[in-house]
Chains A and B, each alone.
Chain A
């Protein structure tokens, strides 16, 4: 790869800006814009969306010509593990109760760091779950069931 060009982080920002701008224009395409004296719900989304596209071009075009600058290395492991474990928590908290959700979150989330040992992870999961249940569910009164519904329904 000889003499590649382009400031990658800036090109990525430009893509994000233009993406949001286009999305705003697209989603707001049917909203009435109104006039300056009677602004409709679509006026500002359209204005901001257009500005974002212009800004994206202003950031992106010069960046294409600048010398090459790479994006920091992306390691997929923490990105995937953290995102997935958060989503698992959301479903588990609703259907399985806080205790199982919290244990799952911490055990799964610990996979993001390759250096973890199972003993410490287990202790951490149990300890944090007890702490969370005491502080949030009992102490602060967060409305979330502690145990799965099929366990408590029987009693």
Chain B
């Protein structure tokens, strides 16, 4: 079958009433949480993960994906109208978007953001459709040694490209690896690190960690920082951008899409990194860089296109190699695993309807999102006035039901509460918990492949440098680490993230 036939298969899957319904639900939920500050896509997906167990596999995955890219649309709304980024990836949009709103051009900013996102989403969907089969064919030739090197590269690159100090991020990965080892050892059957707790013999559930660290801990930290009530809305005016807006933004959208699609592919990349990079690129190529920050339309178009493109292209490494590149994708990986599907090169051949159905649903979801966001903007803006104290009890309840419903065990909920406290400590220690999830999901895979490789090679680690693909990955890892030590690179990286934090 060629790509066209496969895409047709995908659309026929994605357009079934159930899947279409869950695509719409995901897009709506994504917009909702994108608009609401204080709850992001990571926490939402953690909360909804256990629920997808009760849904058909494709429907659940379509919904979760919709939440991720839907949040990119919703995040821009608050960024433009109230100068509050609903999502981390919309932080740069506030710079020019809010200024445009102050000048009475909020409608134009929102329309450019939504249309730019739609264009970027379309391009990224095609990128997945084209790159997916190619990469997975390549990945089929991977042996265990290649997988070990790929995972080492993925884990380390993720820490370097993500924000925060690298050493701490590596520490978080290691803790994740340790947590992943709890339970019964797959090869010898002996139980380890369980403290004798019977409930831990099957290992710690991903959902318990995700809900604890991202659900409970986030509620606690948000409650500490209360006082975000009473937002001031910029007036909303006519929606359609002027001819001049279009003329100036189409190139920015193109560049943003390119940057986003590429950065989404990299380990540790994703929507946030993409939007920042696209903004600074726009500033560099512009003839009037000083105008940025005063309400130029390019400053909205480029990052919004980039974050949406990256949100989607970050699915590529997961779907083709089975390697999640950021914590969102780690969540998606476990959504697949709940249904007994291990993402990777074989899924494309054995269950093409899953891959192509998801790809097709992304395009449909993007089209739905333009409709959800533009004409219905007034409704979402009203939601902004809902205070957090009415929201968090609902989030708390969903978290609790989610954890409890997995095994109907008190133990799981207690453990999640414990991880909530741990996640709170991480936040106080200024440790970004994302890499922990990556380490946790990749840990068992890494260990199994490492042991298999060394068993075949009778303990000789030379294989990792003898196989060319493996060697390239390891060299790339070394280069990245070396770059971190170089002072000049370190400085630019720190500056880039300083902007992000302020």
Contacts and interface: CB of A to CB of B under 8 A. Distances in A.
Interface of A: 9-10, 12-13, 16-17, 20, 24, 27-28, 31, 35-42, 44-45, 48-49, 51-52, 55-56, 58-59, 71-75, 77-79, 82-83, 85-87, 89-91, 93-94, 102, 105-106, 109-110, 112-113, 115-116, 120-121, 124-125, 128, 132, 136, 140-144
Contact of B223 (A35, A58, A112, A144): A112
30 contacts: A9-B428, A10-B429, A13-B429, A16-B425, A16-B429, A37-B457, A41-B185, A41-B187, A41-B188, A41-B190, A44-B177, A44-B450, A48-B174, A48-B178, A75-B224, A79-B424, A87-B414, A89-B400, A90-B410, A93-B400, A94-B410, A106-B396, A109-B393, A112-B219, A113-B392, A116-B389, A120-B390, A128-B394, A140-B51, A143-B408
Contacts, number: 192
A36 B216 CA distance: 40
B401 A136 contact: yes
B410 A36 contact: no
Sorted nearest first, the 5 A-B pairs with minimum C-beta distance are A37-B459, A90-B413, A36-B459, A41-B185, A78-B223
Contacts of A52: 171, 174-175, 178
Interface residues of B, number: 66
Interface of B: 51, 54-55, 165, 167-168, 170-171, 174-175, 177-178, 181, 185, 187-188, 190, 192-195, 216, 219-220, 223-224, 226, 388-390, 392-394, 396-401, 404-405, 408, 410, 413-414, 416-417, 420-421, 424-426, 428-431, 447, 450-451, 454-455, 457-461
Contacts of B219: 78, 82, 112
Q: Which of A48, A72, A91 has most B Cβ within 10 Å?
A: A48
Given A41-B192, A93-B404, A128-B394, A48 B181 contact: yes
A13 B171 contact: yes
A86 B174 contact: no
A56 B171 CA distance: 8
Contacts of B220: 78-79, 82, 112
A52 B194 CA distance: 19
A6 to B, nearest CB: 13
Contacts of A112: 219-220, 223, 392
Contact of A55 (B174, B177, B428): B174
Given A35-B459, A40-B188, A94-B410, A144 B174 contact: no
B389 A83 contact: no
Nearest to A107: B393
A124 B400 CA distance: 16
